């Protein structure tokens, strides 16, 4: 990752924390100031989806041309994605407590998000349970495709088809309907881009660590051989 | 006599103007104490975010050092 992109990430996230707390937001009953959570809760999910998509991309490429690097990339992006997903669940639960009255409602959007996270946890369980590197990489790459294919309906399609409290689901309007003068977009989009870049950055760090570990193992092997 | 009256009046006006000035709202850097102290919260959050980013940059550097070390070792074993 280029240094200027890291700086863009820092600038965007810092801007979001200032503008997201200080700029005017629509005054709505029940939501009150918690509408600002839009700037912090939703970018976690956008970031997670983008990171899982990149992970999927590398898994598909791995199946075409199996290299260790592709496997490292697929697993690193999925790891960061799951962290974003857990943060999304946590922030969502806190918000739900004060907007809907309970940390967890049996809402299709919430259940879908929870199942998605479990599906990706299973990806790492699978990786951890196969010793042979080639088998592990191939199996997890195939599983990753299924995991992503399960995420799309669980988060983006099924909640829209059933009654739901969550904005953007079950015929509910998304936040764009409250954002009449598009002022919230000025913070929301930078938040999405900024947090995604931070996630990407952390993923590249993981990939580089995995590559160094691999190199160390190779050198160790060469020494004993 | 007239000039003395003038001076007295001038002095009186000066005192009045000073006194009224003192009662006016004096502009100070009150941002951190205004609006229910939201700026304090913003500063605290920024401190946390800044700390995390500094940590991230330092981790990045550390990984770069490891990469360099690994490639140097590689050269040593090959030669």
Percent share of chain A, pLDDT over 90 = 71
The model's confidence at residue A141, banded by pLDDT at 50, 70 and 90, is very high
Q: What is the pLDDT of residue B3?
A: 75
More confident residue, A179 or A30: A30
Nearest to B74 among A18, A202, A219 (CB): A219
pLDDT per position as a tens digit, B16-52: 666 665 556 777 777 776 767 888 888 889 988 999 9
Q: Which long-range contacts (CB under 8 A, 24 or more apart) does B70-78 make?
A: B70/A212, B70/A215, B70/A216, B70/A219, B71/A215, B73/A219, B74/A215, B74/A219, B77/A219, B77/A222, B77/A223
Q: What is the pLDDT of residue B24?
A: 64
Q: B73 to chain A: nearest residue by CA?
A: A219
Q: What is the pLDDT of residue B15?
A: 67
Rounded Cα distance between A115 and A99, Å, is 22
The model's confidence at residue B1, banded by pLDDT at 50, 70 and 90, is low
Q: What is the pLDDT of residue B78?
A: 60
pLDDT per position as a tens digit, A68-83: 999 999 999 999 999 9
pLDDT reading at A48 higher than 90: yes
**Residues counted in chain B:** 79
Contacts of A208 in chain B (CB under 8 A): 63, 67
Tokens at residue A31, please? 């939501």
pLDDT per position as a tens digit, A165-176: 888 877 777 777
Contact A17 B46 (CB under 8 A): yes
Percent share of chain B, pLDDT over 90 = 22
Model pTM?
0.84
Nearest to B53 by CA among A207, A8, A43: A8
Rounded Cα distance between A223 and A218, Å, is 9
pLDDT reading at B79 higher than 60: no
Average pLDDT (A54-79) is: 97
Q: What is the pLDDT of residue A94?
A: 92
Nearest to A17 by CA among B55, B56, B53: B53
**B30 touches A at CB < 8 Å:** no
This model of the complex carries an ipTM of 0.77
| Angle, helices A3-22/A185-224, rounded to nearest 10 degrees | 140
Q: What is the pLDDT of residue A164?
A: 84
Average pLDDT (A211-217) is: 90
Domain spans of chain A? 3-224
More confident residue, B7 or A16: A16
Contact A21 B41 (CB under 8 A): yes
Q: What is the pLDDT of residue B21?
A: 59
Contact B70 A21 (CB under 8 A): no
The rounded mean pLDDT for chain A is 92
């Amino acid at each position: 990752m280029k240094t200027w992109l890291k700086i863009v990430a820092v600038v965007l996230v810092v801007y979001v924390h200032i503008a997201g707390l200080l700029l005017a937001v629509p005054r709505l009953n029940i939501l009150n100031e918690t509408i600002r959570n839009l700037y912090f809760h939703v970018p976690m999910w956008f970031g997670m989806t983008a990171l899982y998509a990149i992970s999927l991309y590398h898994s598909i490429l791995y199946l075409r041309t199996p290299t260790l690097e592709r496997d490292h990339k697929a697993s690193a992006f999925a790891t960061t994605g799951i962290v974003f997903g857990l943060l999304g669940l946590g922030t969502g639960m806190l918000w739900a407590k004060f907007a809907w009255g309970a940390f967890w409602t049996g809402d299709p959007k919430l259940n879908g998000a929870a199942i998605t996270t479990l599906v990706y946890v299973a990806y790492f369980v699978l990786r951890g349970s196969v010793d042979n590197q080639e088998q592990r990489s191939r199996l997890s790459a195939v599983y990753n495709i299924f995991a992503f294919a399960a995420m799309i309906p669980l988060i983006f399609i099924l909640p829209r088809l059933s009654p739901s409290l969550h904005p953007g689901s079950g015929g509910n309007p998304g936040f764009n309907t409250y954002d009449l003068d598009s002022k919230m977009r000025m913070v929301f989009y930078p938040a999405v881009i900024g947090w995604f870049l931070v996630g990407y950055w952390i993923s590249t760090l993981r990939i580089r660590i995995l590559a160094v570990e691999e190199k160390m193992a190779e050198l160790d092997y060469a020494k004993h051989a | 006599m007239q000039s003395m009256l003038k001076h007295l009046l001038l002095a009186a006006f000066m005192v009045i103007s000073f006194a009224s000035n003192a009662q006016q709202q004096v502009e100070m850097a009150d941002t951190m104490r205004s609006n229910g102290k939201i700026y304090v919260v913003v500063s605290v959050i920024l401190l946390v975010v800044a700390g995390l980013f500094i940590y991230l940059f330092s981790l990045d550097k550390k990984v770069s050092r490891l990469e360099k070390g690994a490639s140097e070792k590689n050269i040593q074993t090959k030669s």
